[in-house]
A and B are shown apart, each in its own frame.
Chain A
Amino acid sequence: MFEDILITIATAATPLLLAAIGELVTERSGVLNLGVEGMMIMGAVTGFAVAVTTGSPWLGVLAAILVGAAFSLLFGFLTLTLVTNQVATGLSLTLLGLGLSGMIGESFVGRAGVKLAAIRIPYLSDIPYIGRLIFGQDPLFYVSILLTAGVVWFLFRTRAGLTLRSVGDNHASAHALGIRVITIRYLAVMFGGACAGLAGAYLSLVYVPQWVENMTAGRGWIALALVVFASWRPWRLLVGAYLFGAVSIGQLHTQALGVGIPSQFLSSLPYLATIVVLVLISRNRRLTMMNTPASLGQPFVPDR
């Protein structure tokens, strides 16, 4: 029972973590992409469509990653090449993604999905209490943890990571040093898109192997809030994603127990929790000032 709850928390947290870790890298390079929800839902619908058509969930995952990255390129072209407003462009990416996914997915509504099977390491997964939690989950769970570790290593242990952070903190100086600001930002935006697509595929291939319109239900926005909550630190992001996973699973279990609280109130808890957490984090101005990438959301036109 205890282990089951922990595993469901991990299933709720993994899509948030996947989308948020990508957005964290994007924001570290100084670009605020509010299109996470749109890229995520595009990943969910293509992942589902490809998996159902070909019968292979792995092809679905691959397609979702590619579509997420391609969709983010649209955002990249507008904000980086045409220097449009990042907030408005991100919003339009979300609106377009929600519309487009509804159209693509229309013929897949109600179709039985293909589930990405869980990995089960023999013997180890039989360890009581923690065996299945650590050694018996779906492959994307491990991907999300490895990805977090990989991003930590990349950002803080490699030269390329240092370059990316310098672009996010001061694009003018980085440009003066001969760093290709725009190229690096394009790559960071595409990484964010690929991760968001993967997170979407997790929803439609693992979480509920089905296609439902608007099935992301604001998770892309919660992922954006998590990045702020984590003050742009990957490990804190992991903690935050699991806290949110716990809140959303907690409210589901409370609903199942039938404790006389209307289900709609419980369902609104994750959204309210997001607001509370954002307020708690941002009221400490010194802390946020210190951690926010200094060029976040600022347009950059290289001078020649």
Chain B
Amino acid sequence: MRIELVKRPQRSALFSMLSPFIALGLTLVAGAALFLALGKNPGEALYYYFVDPLHETWSLHELAVKAAPLILIAVGLSVCFRSNNWNIGAEGQFIIGAMAGSILPVMFPDFQSWVVLPLMLLLGVAGGAAYASIPAVLKARFNTSEILTSLMLVYVAQLFLDWMVRGPWRNPAGFNFPETRTFHAFATLPEIWPASGRAHWGFIFALLAALVLWFVMTRTLKGFEIRLLGQSPRAGRFAGFSREKMVLFSFLVSGGLAGLAGICEVSGAIGQLRPIISPGYGFTAIIIAFLGRLNPLGIVAAGLVLALTYLGGEAAQISVGLSDKVARVFQGMILFFVLACDTLIHYRIRLVAEPAVRGEGARADV
């Protein structure tokens, strides 16, 4: 048996709709097998993972809390990936954005006014964008691999945050815990619906960002430029678009959104800086960008699904005794299946019996 790919004359509209769903289905099957191997009842485990968190109002709020940073980062990354720029350091840009935004409440706690919060958000965006500009400039100017530089900067950002919260920014009244002072009321991102749960305005920002970027990508010249330079750099050059400027643009957009996600997370969900402020949101967002087929609206849906794996991980740990590490296995599997299923968009897959003479032998077209 051999697998043979036959190029489709044009991309299949059917499979570009279906492939994320096939991928999710395959992930569920693989997940069930995994739970079985771990000696758990797969039906019960999957229920706690994907259904139980949706039952109560407060947990729907938690879903929005988790989805907000994921969607914000992932829609930014879609601009990068569409234009063939591989920013995989969003985790670092998230951290630097969070730190830049925290300057006001941590260093000037007595400056209390309604302007604090908007300034914090702006600083967060600026911090993330500035940090993302490092790999972008190095790529545009020296042709340095942005994959490796942006990733290295994640470790640097994590160490920098660690130093700040243990050193200069440690809460003077915090019993030596590695934490900053807690943010005052003017520096806290308000909740959308305070009566029913914790979901904060970060989720609204995420939806807005997705809408704006969807409009830019599908309805404007800039969107055309992004897609053209990604698909065919040569054609892009003939159209008069600059590759270097696009590198910078895509990194600034994604870095800025990652920075916004960072400051929303600390001012909305955590309320202070700690040595670790993200359970890998910047990396999970890469999965979301692909599961959403690099389409900002698709990414909103994909972000909710992946946020569910975080919540489900916690629920399954409490109720079925499954390790919370399983959630990350799920996330990794989703990306694998998404990439594999995307092959169906461009190719038909044929199974050919091995001693194959062309045109003969058993085959099954998919």
Q: Which residues of B contact A221 (CB under 8 A)?
A: 148, 151-152
Instruction: Give the top 3 A-B pairs by smallest Cβ distance, nearest first.
Output: A96-B332, A99-B328, A92-B335
- Contact call A275/B149, Cβ cutoff below 8 A: yes
Bound complex: CA A283 to CA B142 (Å): 4
Most B C-beta atoms less than 10 A away, residue of A91, A100, A224? A91
Asked if A88 contacts B151 (CB within 8 A), the reply is no
CB of A108, distance to nearest CB on chain B (Å) = 12
Secondary structure at chain B's binding surface: helix, strand, loop or mixed?
A: helix
Selected A-B contacts with CB under 8 Å, 12 pairs? A82-B339, A83-B343, A83-B347, A84-B339, A87-B147, A88-B335, A92-B332, A93-B336, A100-B329, A103-B328, A285-B143, A288-B143
A264-B145 in contact given A84-B340, A218-B155, A301-B5 (Cβ < 8 Å): no
Tell me whether A218 and B151 are in contact in the complex, defined as CB-CB below 8 angstroms, given that A96-B336, A264-B159, A268-B160 are known contacts: yes
Given A81-B3, A278-B145, A301-B7: A96 and B329 within 8 A (CB)? yes
Interface membership of B219, Cβ < 8 A: no
Q: Which residues of B contact A81 (CB under 8 A)?
A: 3, 5
Does B162 contact A78, Cβ atoms closer than 8 Å? no
A135 at the interface (CB under 8 A from B): no
Cα A283 to Cα B162 with chains together (Å): 32
A residues less than 8 Å from B144 (CB atoms): 275, 278-279, 282-283
Q: Whole-angstrom distance between the alpha carbons of A271 and B327 in the complex? A: 28
Interface pair B358/A304, CB less than 8 Å apart = yes
Task: Flag if A91 contacts B286 (CB, 8 Å).
Answer: yes
A291 to chain B, nearest CB (A): 13
Task: Report, as a range, how many residues of chain B touch the other chain.
Answer: 35 or more
Q: How far is the CA of A103 from the CA of B147 in the complex (A)?
A: 27
Query: Chain B contacts of A301 at CB under 8 A?
Result: 5, 7, 347
Whether B148 pairs with A264 at a CB distance below 8 angstroms is no
Q: Write out the residue numbers on chain B whose beta carbons fall within 8 Å of the beta carbon of A102.
A: 325, 328
A34 proximal to B (CB < 8 A): yes
B138 on the A face (CB < 8 A): yes
Question: At the interface, is chain A mostly helix, strand, loop or mixed?
Answer: helix
Q: Which of B3, B159, B162, B339 contacts A89 (CB 8 A)?
A: B339
Contact A265 B163 (CB under 8 A): yes
Contact with A103, one of B153, B329, B358 (Cβ below 8 angstroms)? B329
Chain A residues closer than 8 Å to B349, beta-carbon distance: 82
How far apart sit A63 and B287, CA to CA, in the bound complex (Å)?
A: 29
Asked if A173 lies at the interface with its beta carbon under 8 angstroms from chain B, I say no
Contact of B340 among A78, A96, A217, A225 (CB under 8 A): A78
Q: Check: B86 CB closer than 8 A to any chain A CB.
A: yes
Chain A residues numbered 47-106 whose CB sits less than 8 Å from any CB in chain B: 74, 78, 81-85, 87-89, 91-93, 95-100, 102-103, 106
**How far apart are B363's CB and chain A's nearest CB, in angstroms?**
13
Extra contacts, 10 of them, besides A87-B147, A95-B286, A275-B148 (Cβ < 8 A), are: A82-B3, A85-B339, A92-B335, A98-B328, A98-B332, A265-B163, A271-B152, A272-B156, A283-B141, A283-B142
